[in-house]
Chain A
Amino acid sequence: MSTVVLLIVTGLGLGALYFLIASGLSLIFGLMDVLNFAHGAFLAIGAYGTWWAAENLPGAGPAGVGFLLAMVFGVAAGTLAAVLVELCVIRPLYGRHREQILATVGLSLAVPALIQAIWGADPHTFPKPELVSGTLPLLGVNVPKDRYLLILAAIVVFVALWLFNSRTRYGLIVRAGVQDRAMVTALGIDVRKSFTLVFAIGGAAAALAGSLGGLYFGVVTPTQGMSLLIFAFIVVVIGGTTSLTGCAIASVTVGLIQQFANYYTVAGLGDIAVVAVLAAVLLTRQGGLTGKKSAERVA
């Protein structure tokens, strides 16, 4: 029983990490038709930004409020990178999907290479504040505290995105733009501003995933973003490319399958099991679990 509880919570923690990455990815794809392979780079920038700030930024540190400040720095760096990518790389290539893919793939390779050139290829130990160190019992099982933090962060981001989509004018524009971008423009709305905003939100969520992923894995590596991005893409396809709820369900599903398959079969089989689920969804429900190809994004 204790093993099952631990696997569930760890699976949920991993799913939370996937959700943070995939929610931005699906938001960007849904509105802009951009398959953003550079999304993992935002995660890496967030992770390295937090790690660097914890050691070097005045006022920041590896514990307490200092670590919170380091996280804010990491998320801000990831968000800034996302905005710059949208303005300088994606915007000049609107409607040119092949070139966009090439450009974002190029960035996804260039950013880890740049990080590697500056800080080396070896993993760096990520700071772990006392508040999230150790375990907290749940149903008699000692569960690492960072799992709770990941799950909490994903819930907060889910609610924030839901509120953004359903309660704000920009959310309304995004939901409409997912369905018919040209018509949004024909109503007199500069949809490009929404593109930048969506990239900023996606970049912030990915950078947050980078920071929290550092806590989860205990280290940061230049290629961490790339390996997590593969599963985030799987989540987006399984969840449906335009549904936030579908994205959340798929994230949890993928995280749990990985944990259980890896534990009860052979380590590494979890990844294969996830790919099998992806194939099953593609064969049976092409619109993803939510079954919507271009319908409402929120809930």
Chain B
Amino acid sequence: MSAPVPLLEADDLHVWIEGSHILQGVSFAVPDHGVTSVLGRNGVGKTTTVKALLGLVPRTGRVVFDGDDITERPTHAIVTKGIGYVPEERGIFAALTVAENLRLAERRPGEPRYGLVHDLFPELSKRANQPAGTLSGGQQQMLAIGRALLNDNRLLIVDEPTKGLAPRIVREVADAVATAAESVPVLLVEQNLSLVRRVADQAVVIDAGHVIHTGSASELLDDADRVRSLLGVARTATDEPTESRVDTT
């Protein structure tokens, strides 16, 4: 019996930024179901990995999505193959309204899923005509996730969705990621280990531009010594979603 074909494959990715060798041969695979979490301390190359997958930074290596080699394709062509992206800085267009931010994300062919987005985040429909720059951090994150969910994607890439959010909002965002993961595979960059424990099936740990561990997320998080050695946290995640972040020092 042959091994299942991964939805996304990164093979030997290298990225240099201003003379620094940020990614030094990153390789991993994302299966076509569940949540794959990318973990690691601050500054190890997690966000750069995501940007390299999408062609947002110059890179060498190979990226295969849904059986197609997308390495040489421009970012917009990669995304239109069916990827929704929520960047670390949210990527909200501050001067546009909430409705305009969503409208901008509509892709044809296909019907935009406003029903799903507004069910998940009713706040967005109430604030449709409000400039996105005047939203709170949590509301902006909802808009960023809503924008990624608007289209019927094959993969969601979500980069640190809970970063800098209040505990109540963290729960709401975590619920949204969990709901999204029921219908679409997710590549989740996250330092909140409680959220990772709750939603992730697979874990990819990056350190100093290399993948140093891949495997089951729950097995990793259950092993306190390994978590300490790989991620630098003093204890494993609890069920409280606001605790236990990867050491950022």
Contact = CB atoms under 8 A, between A and B. Distances in A.
Interface of A: 169, 172-173, 175-176, 179-180, 182-191, 295-297
B86 to A, nearest CB: 10
Interface residues of B, number: 22
19 contacts: A169-B103, A173-B104, A175-B93, A175-B95, A175-B96, A176-B96, A179-B93, A183-B91, A183-B93, A185-B56, A185-B74, A185-B79, A186-B75, A186-B85, A186-B91, A187-B79, A187-B147, A188-B80, A188-B107
A295 B74 CA distance: 27
A186 to B, nearest CB: 5
Smallest CB-CB A-B distances: 7 pairs:
A296-B95, A188-B79, A183-B91, A188-B80, A185-B75, A176-B93, A190-B76
Interface of B: 54, 56, 74-77, 79-80, 85, 87, 91, 93-96, 100, 103-105, 107, 147, 151
B120 to A, nearest CB: 19
Which residue of A176, A187, A296 has the most chain B CB atoms within 10 A of its CB atom?
Answer: A187
A192 B77 CA distance: 12
A180 B54 CA distance: 16
Nearest to B77: A190
Main secondary structure of the interface of B (DSSP, over half): loop
A172 B100 contact: yes
Contact of A172 (B56, B74, B104): B104
B74 A189 contact: no
Given A180-B91, A186-B54, A186-B56, A191 B96 contact: no
A175 B93 CA distance: 9
A191 B87 CA distance: 18
B30 to A, nearest CB: 18
A180 B151 CA distance: 21
A296 B100 CA distance: 13
A171 to B, nearest CB: 10
Given A186-B76, A187-B107, A295-B94, 10 more contacts: A172-B104, A179-B95, A179-B96, A182-B56, A186-B75, A186-B79, A187-B76, A189-B76, A190-B76, A296-B96
